[in-house]
Structure 1
Amino acid sequence: MSRQLITFQIGEQYLGVDIMAIREIRAWTPTTILPHAAPYVRGVVNLRGTVLPVLDLSARLGWGLAEPTARHVIIVVQIADQLQGLIVDAVNDIVSIDEAELQPAPALGNETAGAFLDGLVPVEGRMVMVLNLDRLSGEAAEPVADAA
């Protein structure tokens, strides 16, 4: 079975999200910081009258805090019943993958390494990490943000 993904980058890493979860792609706008929020929650923005929480995807995945600039974008995704924004460096393309090509993340001695992934798939010579949005926002997986 085929599945369509929006691919995007954080640094040199390529990731993908199921296209059906994407609601819109917005230019970066500064956030309003919330008190006592998790380190990967950068704050909220106004999305046409709706408060949109914005997650620093780099921090959520344990790759350190992003330093957003005008070149960054916010991908607005539907996770369960809530819209959430994901800060990413750049959006790349829409790709179709065959579900049979999706491979699980390898066990690397760290149980959280693949906790947020549906798997990995080769696309145009690059390995793309396919995110599982439900696990990304859920409390089941511990935040692996590294502020250092």
Structure 2
Amino acid sequence: MNQAVRISNQNTIWGMEDELSVLTFNLNGETFAIEATVVQEILDLLPETHVPGSKPFVSSVINFRGKVIPLADIRLAFGMEVSEATIDSRIIVIELELDHSGEPALIGIRTDRVYEVTTLARSASEPPPSVGMRWRADYIDCLVKRGGEFVIVPNLNAIFASQGDRQAVANG
């Protein structure tokens, strides 16, 4: 069943296309990529307002064009160490539909560095292995071989949905 879910996720991200336009970025030395279509803006670091009682995954908010939006650190979903911001750190503002209301949500994602907008080939992609991964396989849509490395395409909907479930369980 997990394999079917993973294949379904991969087919969803690629649609009918052979190439996917993505924004690549770095988290703790790993290269990640998210669909360019969900990216609204790339920002230098902004002042953050800590939200008392919030979970570490989304512990603060930022002001983006007059709107208060959550600032997520997806490193925590992958069990990575939180690192200090550097001169290269950026915030990627994305728009995701997180529930079935049809209303998209703006979310900021902390990164260590943003690289480029590029294309990834479907032919170079494969589902994450079911054995030996240090991360939850459902958090990864696919791995794409590019040059001598793998680019990780995270399943942002799964990450944010599970973090939301955890918060609802913790608060309820």
On whether the aligned pair clears a TM of 0.5, the verdict is yes
Aligned to 2:162: 139
For 1:1-148, what aligned pairs fall within 5 Å after superposition? Answer: 1-80=18-97, 81-108=104-131, 113-139=136-162
Alpha-carbon distance in structure 1 between the residues aligned to 2:47 and 2:76: 17
Secondary structure, aligned partner of 1:15: strand
Larger CA Rg, structure 1 vs 2: 2
Identity of aligned residues (%): 26
Q: Does the 8 Å CA contact 2:79/2:135 hold for their aligned counterparts?
A: no
Secondary structure, aligned partner of 1:139: helix
Higher RCO (C-alpha under 8 Å, 6+ residues apart):
1
Aligned to 1:146: none
The list of structure 1 runs, each at least 4 consecutive aligned residues, that deviate by more than 6 angstroms after superposition, is: 140-143
Gaps in structure 1 of 5+ consecutive residues: 144-148
Equivalent AA in structure 2 for residue 3 of structure 1:
L
Bigger helix share = 2
What does the per-residue CA deviation read over 1:74-100, in whole Å, with 9 as the maximum and x for residues that have no partner?
000111110000000001122212223
Secondary structure, aligned partner of 1:63: coil
TM-score (norm 2): 0.75
Identify which range, 131-140 or 19-28, moves more after superposition: 131-140
How much is the aligned-residue C-alpha RMSD, in angstroms? 2.1
